[in-house]
Amino acid sequence: MNTRPLLLAALLALTGCAGSGLTGDAFRPAVHVVRAGDTLYSIAWRHGLDHRELARWNDLDSPDHLRVGQRLRLSSRGPVAASDRSTSAPTRQSRTTAQRESQAESRSAPAESEESAKESSKPVGDEPGAWRWPAGGELIGEFGGDGVAGRGIEIAGEMGAAVKASAGGEVVYSGEGLQAYGQLVIIRHGGGFLSAYAHNDRLLVDEGQQVVAGQQIAGMGRTNDGDVLLHFEIRRQGTPVDPLDFLPARE
């Protein structure tokens, strides 16, 4: 029996998953090595994890204290040796946070309590009326299909059209470190919710910035295929959910 076609098909499936910017349980590696520009949120997003669990599994006292070369385990099983933790330069998120904290008074509360306080101070993500449409174009892709596109919805529009925060919260990622998403903004809301806005032409917000619902955060851009659209996701505790279950009905 010629097994080459089966082997080729398996390799293609693995390659497609690795290039998607998000891995499922079956393909998730055991460890992620932190690279320049990585944040706790972008790493969790890439691997389909809850950022709070990722921090807990790796004993991170602050989500901002990642270092280039640091090895993070991507499940609750298996230790990561202390010798694997690099002392090289901090990632972009570490530097940004350090600059902010150097201008603020020292805080006595533990990082975990501070995180909980931030979560509880924001509107809960599944409250009625908590979400708005992030762009005004035609809905051209719905939740549930294959690949990255199926993890959210896609809204057509014109180049540079306003992309707005669907709900109020804190910008926890603003960059282009996840190839399949292009220029990406991730916002943290209450109740363990995150929202993401991908394939932007320009980003108008920075990490750590507080935004309100309806505030413009980016300009719409092109996908790798050349289509002008916004890819929009909502995740609850790291798991993609259908945005149409939360957005108001369009007339």
pLDDT of 248 reads 94
Q: What is the pLDDT of residue 79?
A: 58
Q: Which residues contact 210 (CB under 8 A, 6 or more apart)?
A: 168, 169, 170, 171
Of 40, 23, 29, whose CA–CA distance to 75 is shortest? Answer: 29
Tell me how many degrees the CA angle 175-234-222 measures, rounded to the nearest 5: 45
* 180 neighbors 19 (Cβ within 8 angstroms): yes
Tokens encoding 85: 């933790």
- The sign of the torsion formed by the CA atoms of 16, 22, 28, 32 equals positive
Question: Residue 136: CB partners within 8 Å, gap ≥ 6?
Answer: 155, 157, 161, 162
The pLDDT of residue 157: 96
pLDDT, residue 80, reads 58
Distance CA 5, CA 89 (A): 45
**pLDDT given for residue 113 in this prediction:** 40
Pairing of strands 228-236, 162-164: unpaired
Element (H, E) at 93: helix 92-102
SS (H, E, C) 172-229: EEEECCCHHHCEEEEEECECCEEEEEEEEEEECCCCCCEECCCCEEEEEEECCCCCEE
Please identify every stretch of the chain with a pLDDT value under 70, giving residue numbers as ranges: 1-28, 63, 78-125
pTM score of the predicted model: 0.67
The residue to which tokens 């896609």 are assigned = 154
CA-based nearest residue to 65, from 45, 44, 85 = 85
Q: Looking at residue 42, what is its pLDDT?
A: 82
Note whether 246 and 130 are within 8 A (CB). Answer: yes
Cα 106 from Cα 100, distance rounded (Å): 11
Q: Which two tokens stand for residue 195?
A: 């929202």
- Which tokens hold the place of 96? 């940004």
